[in-house]
Amino acid sequence: MKSIRTTGAGLAIMLLAILLNSQEFIYVGAQKCKICHKSEKRGKQYILWENSRHSKSFEVLFSDSALEEAKKQKLEKPPSESPECLKCHGSLHEKAPEIMAEGVTCEICHGPGSAYKKISIMKNREEAIKNGLVIYDSVEAIKTKCQTCHQGETFDFDISWEKIKHPIPKKK
């Protein structure tokens, strides 16, 4: 009888582990990130993003210059509906259309936040990563991610990275 309970408990733990590892992470939007990442202590990451061109990348698709470019490219749809434009300016248009208007938002780079947004998880880097947080191990890895959209001779990663980087300040 005891071995049946032990086996059942072991199976239940294994099933729980499988479910946790196979969970689908969901995009939650920058407003959830803002709760913690707007303070001086956290490096004002949200404020840096909010004041960046990334936060306005979707809005630009409604501009006259975007409409002209769409015509020049012979796109079938307006820029704000065109997959060719949305892949960078509204990157979540397929996965989370309800927040694509945020433009190049936090979760484009750091992954869907549904599981790592809790403060108890974010306090533990390893737990946050297990729960979907994407952390880059080098500036070169960050550059590679940026270049999925930023291409060509006009993109200078070093200059752009200085404008957008947002490290967590060291504890004093």
Give the position of tokens 């939650």: 28
123: in domain: no
Q: So what's the pLDDT on residue 42?
A: 87
41: in domain: yes
* Cα–Cα distance for residue pair 75/83, rounded to 1 Å: 9
* Cα–Cα distance for residue pair 66/60, rounded to 1 Å: 7
72: in domain: yes
Give the position of tokens 């947004």: 117
- What pLDDT tens digit does each residue of the chain (172 aa) get? 555 554 555 555 655 455 555 568 999 999 999 999 999 988 999 999 999 999 999 999 999 999 999 999 999 999 999 999 999 999 999 999 999 999 999 999 999 999 999 999 999 999 999 999 999 999 999 999 999 999 887 899 999 999 999 888 887 6
57: in domain: yes
Q: So what's the pLDDT on residue 81?
A: 96
13: in domain: no
Q: So what's the pLDDT on residue 170?
A: 81
91: in domain: yes
122: in domain: no
Contact 161, 142 (CB under 8 A): yes
Indicate the angle between helix axes 139-146 and 157-164, nearest 10 degrees: 100
Structural domain including 140 reads 26-114+136-164
Q: So what's the pLDDT on residue 2?
A: 52
Tokens of 98: 């309800």
For the chain, what is the domain count? 1
* Cα–Cα distance for residue pair 82/60, rounded to 1 Å: 13
